[in-house]
Amino acid sequence: MKKILIACGSGVATSTVANQKISAYLDEHGFAGKYKIEQCQVSEVVEKSGNVDFCVSTTLVSGDVKCPVLAGLPLLTGVGLDKLYASILEEMQK
């Protein structure tokens, strides 16, 4: 079971959109039931990063992060979305 952290400024609106898109993509690619997603504020990423496999953040993350962080802005803009999804699949297959 992969643990994914999705972060945005408030931990509510933007991360919910990202959660829906990532969940739909993963389910379509055979990962249904093989992951758990937690949403949070970007200020919580450092604290929570030691308990997840990777993080997708729609804003910049700073500090001592203990997991890979993928830039989630393409989930909102559409620019670079294929590259982000490829990176997510790569993390899921580790």
Burial of 13 (0-12, 13-18, 19+ CB in 10 A): exposed
From 8, 40, 55, 67, active-site residue: 8
Annotated active-site residue 55? The verdict is no
Contact 45, 7 (CB under 8 A): yes
d(CA 17, CA 20): 5
**87 three-state secondary structure:** helix
- Which residues belong to the active site? 8
